[in-house]
Each structure stands twice: as C-alpha cells, then as structure tokens.
Amino acid sequence: MTVGNGPRSQHADHLTTLLHDDSGYGASTMDGNFADGWNPGMTEDRPTPGGTPVLDDGSEESERQREAIAGHTIQMYYNRNRTSLIRAIGDTEAVLAKFQEMNQTWPTQYPQEIQNEPHSASPTRPGSRPSLQHSFSTRDLDNESAPSPRPGPRRAETSLGSRVSAESSSAAAQQLTSLPEPRLLNAQVAHEFSLLKLELKMAGREHSVHSFDKNAIASLLDNQFRENIRHLHSLRDRVEDTSSKVLVTGDLNAGKSTFCNALLRQKILPEDQQPCTSIFCEVLDARENGQIEEVHAIPHNSIYNRDDESTYEVFAIKELEQIVTEHEKYLNCKIYIKDVRPFEQSLLNNGTVDIALIDAPGLNKDSVQTTAVFARQQEIDVIVFVVSASNHFTQSAKEFIFNAAREKAYMFTVVNGFDQIRDKQRCEKMILSQLAKLSPTTFKESKELVHFVSSNVIPMAPGSGPRPGGDFAAGGGGSGSGSFDPNGDDDPYDGDGEKEGKHGEPGSPAKGKGKGKEKEKIRDFDYLESSLRRFVLEKRARSKLAPARTYLMNLLGDMNRLADFNRDAAQSELDRVQKELEDLEPQHEASKKARSEVSEELDITLESSTTDTYNYTRETLTDSINRVSEQDLGLTYPGPFSCLQYAEDIKDAMLSEISNTVYLCEERARNKSIQGFNAIKNLGLMHVGNKFYEGHIFHPEKMFMKRRHNLARQVDIDLEMLDFFDFSYIWEKQEKLAGTGMAGTVALVVGGRLLGGASWIDGALGAFKIMGVNGSKRLILPSLITLVGVALAFAIQQIPASLPRRLSSKLATQLAAQDYVHDNATRISAEVRRALKNPSQDLRIELQRGVEKLEKDREDRRGIKAEAERARTYFAGLEKNSANVRRRVENVDLEGAPPGLASQYAA
C-alpha cells in the first residue's frame, strides 16, 4: 500500500529547474548561452524524478510488471547518462590537455578589464574589438544586476576539497559565503568565467589583469588547467563509482534490522524484541572482500583499511549477534555477504548502483548525535528512516529528522510493523500529519517517499536461512520462513492464513483473505524497494552526475569563451602582422636600395678623395723637388772658404723646403678628408639619421701621426768637387755671353772684365787674335797662367749659382731613386683612405644592419603570422569542439523522466 498525494506537476517543476541552478560552479542555461556565476541550487535536496511510476487501477500483475519495467528503464537511463558524462569527461580532458599544450606555445590571452570603469561594458579585446559580452547573450549583463542566488540547503557529504571540486559540496557552500568575490577582476569579468577564472593578487595590492604580462597570465592559466585536469580525473572516478551508502536509522526496536534483512532477502542482521544493535553495521557485497563472507569489526579510533588487518578484527557472520552489542569496543563493522538476489534485482550489486546498507543503532538521546556525525563522516547518499507504526515518531526521532532536514530535505521514510495496526487509515493519517510538521517536503512527496510496510513478512531467499544461529524473528512473525519469490507468483502464505493474525489482525481471518493481505504486503514492500532504488538513483544523479554535468558545462563554457576570445586575438594578431609585413616590404626594398646606392657613393667619395690627394701630392711634390734650386732658400754665400758648410746648408734648406711641401700636402689631405667625412656624414644623415652620428666625431689632427714624413734621414747626398763647379752651367753661361758680338768680346776681354767677365775663354782667344801669333807666343805662358787664374776665379765666383743646381739635381735623382714622390703621395692618400674608411665602413655596417633588421623583422613577423594562423585554426577548432562537447553534456537530461516512462505512467 502506498499513501500520499504529492502532485505530479510539482515533480516536474522541481525537476525542470533541477540542474540549471544546481552546483557551486554556476548554472547552465537552456538556450545555450553560457551563464554566469555561482548557483548553489544543486546542493538543495530535491524529490525523486518525474519518471516515478504512478499506480493506476489496472490488474496487480500488470502493475507489478510496469513497475519492474519502470525500474529497469530508470536504471538504464541513469546508466546512459553516466556513460555520456564519462565520455564527455574524457573528451573534455583531452581538449583541456591540448589547450594546456597550446598555452605553452601561444600564451593564452585573457579578457581584460578597463580599470576604474567597473561598469563599462567593454573589457578591452584584441584589435579594439567589441567587449566580450557583445559576442554573448546580454543575459550575462542582466544577470549581473539580478540578486545573487543564495545557497540553499546542501549536501554535506562530498568533500573533494579543492576549490574546483566544490561544485556540490558543503565546502563549496562555505567558500561561497566565506570567500570574498575575487578582488582584482571587476564584476563583469568575474561573471564571465566560472572555473578558468584568474584571481590576481600581489602583496595586498590590487592588480587588474592587464597589469600582468601575457606570459604571467599564461602561467596562471596553466595552473588552472592543471587543477582542472586533476579535478576531471577525480570527477571521472566519482561518476564511475557505483557504490552508494544508505543509512537505515530510526527508533529503538522499530524494525531496522528486520527491514535491512528484508531488503537483502537474507537473515543477516540480528533481530530482537529488545534493542540489540548498538554499533553501525554496514552490509557490503562479498565481491569487495574477495568473495569471502565475514565480518570486520572496527574498534574505536581505528581507521578502516580492508588491506590492513590491524585496523579491524575478523569474525564469522554467525558471530554478528554478539558483535553488534559490543558498542564499547567497536564503533562499526563491515559485513561482507554474497547477494542471493538476481543481478537485476540486487541492491548490493547491480552495476548501476551498488548499495551498501548501514544498519544504525536505534535512536535515543545518546545516539542521535552519534548517528548524525556518522552520517556526515561516511558520506551517506540516502537516509532511510524507520519508524514503528505502533509508536509513531518519538522525541529522538523528531530531533533527528529535524536536524537531518537541514541537509536532507527529503527523507525516505519506512513505517514498519504496519501489520500490527488495526486502524490502518488512522495510523497513516497520524503519521503523515506528524511528518508534515517534521519534514514538509517529504510529506509532499509521501507517495514516493513514505511507505507503510511489514518487514517481517518478506520471504527470505531459498537457502538463506538465519545466519547468526537461531531465529532472529523472536516476535514469531513469518520472516525467514517463507519461500523466495521475487515475482510474487508463488504465494508464501498458501495454506497458512494464520500468519496474518499473528501481527495485528486478530480474529484469524479466512484463509483467502489472509493470502490476499500477505500478497498486498509483499507488493507494498516491492513498491518500497523500487521507490528506494529510484530515490537512490536520483540522489546519485544529484550527488554524482549533476555536479559532473554542471562542472563540465562550466568548464567547457569557459574554454569556449577563451577560445572565442583567443581566436579573435589570433585573427587580430594576424591582421596586425599582415599589415606590418605589407609595410615592411617597401621599407626593406628601400633600405636595400639605399644600401647599394650609399655604398656606391661611398666608394666614389673614398676613391675620389684618395686619387685627388695622390695626384695633388705627386704633382706638388714633383714640382717642389724640381724647382727647389730656384727657390729663395734664404742663404747667403759665405765665400769659397765656407763653401762646404754652404753646401750643407743648401742641402738642408732644400730638404726642409721639400718637407714643407709634404706637410702642405698633408694639410691639404686633412682638408680633403674633412670634406670626405662631411660627404659621408651627409649620406648617413640622409639614410640613417641624426642619432647615428651622435658619437661620431672626426679628428683630422690624428691623421699622419703614425706614418710621419722624415726626409732628412732618408736623403744622404755626397758632395763632390764638381758640385761646386758646374762646368755645364759655366759653359752655358759663356755660351750666352758669346752671342753678344766680337767687339763686345774684345772689349770685354781687354776692357778689364777679364777676371770678372762671363767668358774667360772667349777673352783669351780674343787676345790671341789681336796680338798676332808672335806676340802671342811671348805672352803665352803668362797668359795661360792668367787664364787659369781667371778661370779659377770665375769658377769660384759661380759656386753660389751652380751649387744649388747640382745639389737639387742630385737630390732629385736620389729622391727619384727612392720613389719619394710616389711613396709620399701613396702614404698621404692612403691616410686619407684610412681616415675615411672607418666612417664609411660604419655607415655601410649601419645600413647593412638596417637591412638585416628589416629582414629579421620580416622573418619574425612571418613566424608570428604562421603562429597566429596556427592559433586561429586551433582556437576555432577548440571553440567548435568545446561547443560540441558542451552540447552533448547539455543533452544529458538528469532531471526528466526516461523517454516514454512518464507517458506510460501518466495515463
């Protein structure tokens, strides 16, 4: 029998909103827009799904079959959702891992806020794009002004601990209330991301995201990626985990152990008319203990580890009766048994949800607290509260339910021992009215959640007789004695109409009526079982699947947002770099052209300066050497007796004159170099810019410092007699005089110019002619002597004129032999070349650098372009992939009834 009148529309309403405001990681929206912030709704306790079968007035058999089908369908539906989520977790992990990898090579960009404009709708986007919100629904902005959702009652049992794991745990709820909103992002940015949110804090000062460089952000994101990948692993473990803990608690002697045994279809837990269970007894499938049936009793203060026998004591199942009373020694025990029910009906092990039943000690004022603490520590998924139909809710029961309601708004309630009640309707009414005050939500769903049953009439599986030795059913009920018939085809009470009478139906009803009532009780219990399974599945969906779904939705949403943002960033980078490349190309061409033009001009400048200097030096020096004898050397002939010194002085003066010419050439070369440097500088200013010449100063005074001119040491002229008497010169002189006429000659000779005349030979010959041969014979000797004397005197007189010529000629010969002119011209012009070489080389290098820099810039930009293209392709793919996986996750419907089930039962 089931009771209660919960309206189905409320189921639907609850379930419609179930997942969309569920976990601590913010809600999803139905329209595909990625919603904002935290919504703790998931932690609220909710009713069982809308697929709950509703009994109609059809035959019992068809009703039972429909129930069985409904149970299987819900189970299959749950499995399908679980599989989809596991696959989505795997896909998300792969996508995230690739994203993380990408982040290493292309630092992910993060939407930036505009400081001091917290309400601006345009966080800066790459390439001056519109704000991030503009590419999404304006709902986000709307939501910002909406009052923030308050956390409702939440599960307390999940405790993965990390920040990202807080989607449904109470820890998350605490974080929600205790942690301030991230300080460094304005509300807008903070709302955009749920998981990949950057909180940047430094030394107590606030920093906006844009105050951190790209790599710092990428590194922060990398941490987020790592954390989320870790969380995905644990999420997968949680979703794959099929175990679920059901705590059976209630008043002393309410029949909790009997109820557990009935669920197991085995007599495992000790039943007694007096309170006997004083420790928590957890019944698990023997598979988890290597198929060995035994009891592990866990002493107080010991943390159970099945692989460490020092943490528990091992007993046989039959010793359980003794163990359950030893509460002073043990806090709880694990009972490993082999399930006797078929796989599809098994509570302990059916693959979808493997229920570990925990029989708790009866509640009294001492144990209420212990049970509450135990429930919290053991991460109980579902609490089944067993209340005695005869005693109703005791004070302890009320206290427990009241406290538990903070975490579990819905409590699966078993009113046991209903067989003992004569006025069943009155009993139902009274209990439900009590419950309405204790747990209004459970009361509203009482059809699903409140069951009036008689656990002691449930037949045990064949061969599963009382384990702990003796009959636990001390009350003398039919428990344990009937045959096992999961389908109810076999009537366990056939031929035993008396059984009903033993449990509160006094008056020994007729056999047929008794059989019918027993069947009804078994059917009620069956219905309880399928409701319990649905309840557990629904709770699991809530505790395990829904948080995973919400988490995935949020994470994929964040990835999608980042992908969208970064695809735009990559595109904008691509546009920018493309533009830069286009600008660079002509610059590069111009730079190359300038380099070759300037190079040519430098060559010309250098060459012309050098050649000009060479030529000039050569000409000037040659001229100077050739004409040095004609120069006024500033010397006075001291007379024949100092003619040697005179010759030395002349030589020195000539050398000095030539040296001066060389210095003049050097000076001119300096000026030429200055001109050349200025020409080079002008070229540089034109092509390289002012800056380049800031440190460049030309120092003409430093020229010719290393390779100095030193002529005196190089020239060594030996003086000869002939240098003083230059006969060719004397001859030349007398030749000139001869041309003036005979009369003049005689006059010259005779007229006393003999000694000082220019042509003493002519004079002598003239005298011979005048005097005749005879006269001449007598005069010949004295004449000759005179002539020689005259000649000598004439020659001596000619020394100042002939000596410079001779010396100059000798000097010229020697300098020519030394290649003096060429050497100096080469030296001086080489110095010019050397002086101009550095500035011109510097300019060449600078121009080359300019070309190379542009080429490097071009290469760099080509590299960036390739990277940006790769990033754009990647982020476009990421955007698509994350949206696809998100869509798949969104399609995992955890709240609605399995397809076809609702209509099947809505009829």
Ligand X SMILES: Nc1nc2c(ncn2[C@@H]2O[C@H](COP(=O)(O)OP(=O)(O)OP(=O)(O)O)[C@@H](O)[C@H]2O)c(=O)[nH]1
Q: Which residues bind ligand X (CB under 6 A)?
A: 252-258, 271-273, 275-277, 361-362, 416-417, 419-420, 454-456, 473-475, 477, 503
Closest distance of CB 87 from ligand X, Å: 43
Residue whose structure tokens are 């059913």: 473
Q: Do 835 and 678 touch, CB atoms closer than 8 A?
A: no
In the complex with ligand X, the residue whose CB is nearer, 328 or 632, is 328
- The closest alpha carbon to 151, from 135, 172, 126, 131, belongs to 172
In the complex with ligand X, the residue whose CB is nearer, 257 or 554, is 257
Closest distance of CB 524 from ligand X, Å: 11
Q: Count the alpha carbons within 13 Å of 825 in the hemisphere toward its beta carbon.
A: 20
Strands 330-337 and 280-285: parallel
Closest distance of CB 365 from ligand X, Å: 14
Closest distance of CB 267 from ligand X, Å: 11
Alpha carbons 378 and 246: distance in angstroms, whole number = 10
In the complex with ligand X, the residue whose CB is nearer, 391 or 599, is 391
Beta strands in 662-780 (DSSP E): none
In the complex with ligand X, the residue whose CB is nearer, 246 or 811, is 246
> Largest Cα–Cα distance of the chain, in whole Å?
215
Alpha carbons 356 and 339: distance in angstroms, whole number = 12
Closest distance of CB 37 from ligand X, Å: 46
Closest distance of CB 463 from ligand X, Å: 21
Closest distance of CB 503 from ligand X, Å: 4
- The closest alpha carbon to 585, from 861, 849, 847, belongs to 861
Which CA distances in Å does 694 have to 679, 681, 685, 690? 16, 11, 11, 7
Closest distance of CB 557 from ligand X, Å: 48
> Phi and psi at residue 178, in whole multiples of 5°?
-90, -30
DSSP character at residue 542: I
Closest distance of CB 478 from ligand X, Å: 9
In the complex with ligand X, the residue whose CB is nearer, 521 or 567, is 521
In the complex with ligand X, the residue whose CB is nearer, 470 or 900, is 470
User: What's the one-letter identity of residue 701?
Assistant: E
In the complex with ligand X, the residue whose CB is nearer, 276 or 598, is 276
Residue whose structure tokens are 């080509």: 862
In the complex with ligand X, the residue whose CB is nearer, 93 or 419, is 419
In the complex with ligand X, the residue whose CB is nearer, 417 or 850, is 417
In the complex with ligand X, the residue whose CB is nearer, 466 or 547, is 466
Which CA distances in Å does 868 have to 77, 83, 131, 298, 576? 44, 37, 21, 62, 10
In the complex with ligand X, the residue whose CB is nearer, 252 or 871, is 252
User: What's the one-letter identity of residue 460?
Assistant: M
Closest distance of CB 457 from ligand X, Å: 7
What is the helix (H) or strand (E) element at residue 415, kind and residue range? strand 412-416
In the complex with ligand X, the residue whose CB is nearer, 469 or 863, is 469
Q: Output helix, strand, coil percentages for the chain, rounded to the nearest 5.
A: 60, 5, 35
- The closest alpha carbon to 726, from 677, 676, 796, belongs to 796
Closest distance of CB 356 from ligand X, Å: 17
Q: In which order are the strands placed within the sheet that holds 450-452?
A: 313-315, 294-299, 330-337, 280-285, 354-359, 243-250, 382-388, 412-416, 450-452
Closest distance of CB 517 from ligand X, Å: 13
Burial class (CB in 10 A: 0-12, 13-18, 19+), 786: middle
In the complex with ligand X, the residue whose CB is nearer, 149 or 275, is 275
What sign has the CA pseudo-torsion 24, 30, 31, 32?
Answer: positive
Alpha carbons 417 and 289: distance in angstroms, whole number = 34
Closest distance of CB 255 from ligand X, Å: 3
Residue whose structure tokens are 């390779």: 707
In the complex with ligand X, the residue whose CB is nearer, 186 or 257, is 257
Rg (CA), the chain: 60
- The closest alpha carbon to 326, from 291, 260, 292, 280, belongs to 280
DSSP character at residue 13: H
Closest distance of CB 506 from ligand X, Å: 13
DSSP character at residue 313: E
Tokens of 500: 């009903």
In the complex with ligand X, the residue whose CB is nearer, 235 or 252, is 252
What is the helix (H) or strand (E) element at residue 358, kind and residue range? strand 354-359
Tokens of 653: 């003066």
Closest distance of CB 295 from ligand X, Å: 16
- 590-593, long-range: CB within 8 Å, 24+ apart, which pairs? 591/847, 591/850, 591/851, 591/854, 592/851
Q: Number of helices (H) and strands (E), helices first, in the chain?
A: 25, 11
